Structure 1
Amino acid sequence: MTSLPSVRITYCTQCQWLLRAGWMAQELLSTFGADLREVVLVPGTGGVFTVTCDGHLVWDRKRDGGFPDAAKLKQLVRDVIDPERDLGHADRKGDRP
């Protein structure tokens, strides 16, 4: 039996990005539901906003230049947990690896 993947969203409390982190968590849970073990919100400081999935850094605000839109984040998480999964309207032609 394989364990389900975990997503970790670290957000800056100084920048007050809790609502953004919560919204991203909600989007991921709405899409992947029971296919995720958990989505964890982790408070941080210094302008941090990162998303990891099973230890893989899928988004870093500083590295990637801002925040992902929900569809892009879903694609990045999908690429880690189930690359063959079709996300329907959240998949844009040419975005799949």
Structure 2
Amino acid sequence: MTVREPRLEIEYCTQCRWLLRAGWTAQELLTTFTTDLGEIALIPGTGGVFDVRLGDEPVWSRKERGGFPEMAELKQLVRDRIAPARDLGHSDRR
């Protein structure tokens, strides 16, 4: 099996039933970064986890940040790592 780079992982809590949130997050990121992301993996976890990683590098951790990311902020964090010159349009405006 070939791993396409960059690989983004979303680890979500199955006990909390956050699969839909993880799936929606993946959809939003794939829609925005159509050619910049190689793949997105949804990883089942437990214990209230909702972590987003690029490779081994953490992008967002619900436990560390005290909640879920706003989508515009998450897109900016991902963009800053994979396509820093890219304009995100309305997601870049405050």
For the criterion TM > 0.5, the same-fold answer is: yes
User: In the alignment, does 2:18 pair up with 1:17?
Assistant: yes
**How many pairs does the alignment contain?**
91
Contact 2:8 2:39 in 1 (8 A): yes
- Using the size of structure 2 for normalisation, the TM-score is 0.91
Letter in 1 for 2:86: R
- Matches of 2:27 and 2:73, distance apart in 1: 14
Q: Residue 40 of structure 1: CA displacement?
A: 0.5
Q: Residue 27 of structure 1: CA displacement?
A: 0.3
CA displacement, residues 11-52 of structure 1 (integer Å, 9 cap, x when unaligned):
000000000000000000000012211010000000000000
- Matches of 1:70 and 1:54, distance apart in 2: 20
Q: After TM superposition, what 4+ stretches of structure 1 lie above 2 angstroms from structure 2?
A: none
Identity %: 64
Gaps of 5+ in 1: none
Gaps of 5+ in 2: none
